[in-house]
């Protein structure tokens, strides 16, 4: 059952005085829902663009720990313990 079916049934039951108000309400409701969908789609597109931008930037290089670094750290801890 759609909103148009309900409006048709209201007219058929001779409740025509309610039809303009219900039609106006239905149009406002549909416009509001459309604006919500559009805003949601716009946000999703912005997030997708942002994600694409982040992916296209080169990753920062991180210094890899070497055995020399580990030895230096252990020696520093030993000196501090003394």
Q: Please list the alpha-helical segments (H only) found in 1-82.
A: 3-12, 19-56, 67-81
Query: What average pLDDT does the segment 61-77 reach?
Result: 58
E strand residue ranges, the chain: none
Q: What is the mean pLDDT of residues 76-82?
A: 59
Q: What is the pLDDT of residues 36-59, one digit of tens each?
A: 999 999 999 989 888 777 766 555
List the structure tokens of 15. 């409740």
């Amino acid at each position: 059952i759609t909103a148009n079916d309900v409006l048709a049934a209201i007219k058929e039951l001779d409740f025509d005085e309610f039809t303009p108000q219900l039609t106006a309400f239905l149009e406002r409701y549909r416009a509001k829902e459309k604006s919500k969908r559009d805003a949601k789609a716009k946000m999703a597109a912005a997030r997708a663009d942002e994600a694409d931008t982040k992916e296209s930037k080169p990753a920062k290089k991180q210094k890899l720990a070497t055995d020399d670094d580990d030895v230096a750290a252990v020696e520093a801890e030993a000196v501090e313990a003394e």
